[in-house]
Chain A
């Protein structure tokens, strides 16, 4: 978040929100702000209360306690809620189109707002064009493919020129190529409109691609708030780290400290880490998969600035797209992600012994209590 956003008044301010089903509290958010022109991404595992939080923020469900105010004004009654809904737009995981034409669907919100006919036409044409579905305007919504239907539901939201756009896992149900194409279009629309956006997702790549600010919600509680770099680079605790898939998570103890370089013992191995933590501190260690370089043992003697070198045997290899996820046994499992081409060019195989090399500064330590 930049300085301008920090100093601005929040558009949405939630206080003391809680929602329970029976005796179970599914949401407990003491305070949350949404600032003008930011893209706020709420991430968390399934069932963490993300959707419930989004529905509370949009006044589509009523929390057990707490208030959500817009531009400093609390939304008091049904009339105010209706007026508020006519300033917002929401896109859910399913396209939720009505069984009529694409045109009817995309114009529905504008017709409910009693926007003049000429303006409806101009705006709808613009947004159908923008999402590449102009040619589908006369088609029945039910005959669209899932990608086309999602485009229609996004167009239906953007055509409203909302003050705040809410999205609940909008790209989840799509197959990978469709999703990628739509994500790119969506990103460019977001940059262009600069609309204040609140998006819920469990996908960290979407969060990394879109977010100005990330909120991590686990078990109905906000665990961490920060820039994507903060959250993914320095998860506040193990729970957040394991969710954001920060990479390798290990436990260890700082055995010595000299001039900002800590030596950490992990399963009889020693890691050098840039850290001010003192000797004897128990720590959780995070190391991104992508920050590990794999070397063949014969190159072991090559001098390098990377302070850490661990020898390990390849126990598992798993392809993810153009990359390979390689698990080494270094006395503890260590996962590295390398490109498929590197894997092939090095002629690597399961059972082979390799050196994992990484910099002292790529490790992130969190003291354990």
Chain B
């Protein structure tokens, strides 16, 4: 890992090589969906979901990584965003607003929910906050499940279907475009949209981290009392972290809604919150690149396992002994335990975080 850091540092000191590197990464990101489509369109879909998880992890990273507040109900904001999109762009209420209008609305509504959750709880110490957020996530899910009666708001456990896909300049992103022999499937087009949004979110995050706000969060995380003594309005800053994390979750949720075309409360269970948290923890809390790496790893490894573990088990034992879904969740659980025990700052630790989480305080 040190060698990697050194080589990156060398690249930075050599501008020509640095830009060549950036160009190479850009080209490979642009070409990726076509390569994946050759293996199977399913992999492009998996990549899209992985990007959504990167978005979610970056959002959660603001709360957990930057501000040091353990949020175990993060998926609730994703759910809020997804439901806002689905309600405003589906036959359920007969509303069909354009996506560029709904995504900000979703982010705003999720932000309101973040503030709603944050206001009563942010005075609390970390572990209470964790359990309240856990309960909050569960409350949101219970409401989504039951708000079908007496007024049918969410359609209950059946979920909402035929959600409008995203249209860019009147062009439906979910359809296949053909230019001569060259076909471009829906998932590939979504991939580019997601890539653009992801880049914007990464830039926002990088700017945030080194801003006045980001430094205030870091100070609160390190020592809340000292931060308050330095004149930081800790409650407001923590609330801001919650609100911003929630907005990112809301945007990711809206995108999820439009890509899947169908959502139900089943998609927003506790396990999903745990998954996102595991991604943040694995990659390195507080380090944007680490979190991205963690999200990508934990999105792809289970999928690869899904395609390899089952045939492998069939080959060795003659039948499938362990459900790939179980392997996936075990992986998430173990990732959290093992990382905390042996490398608490993550695969790519942020320098401050490493200092803070080292055990010889």
Do A and B truly interact?
no
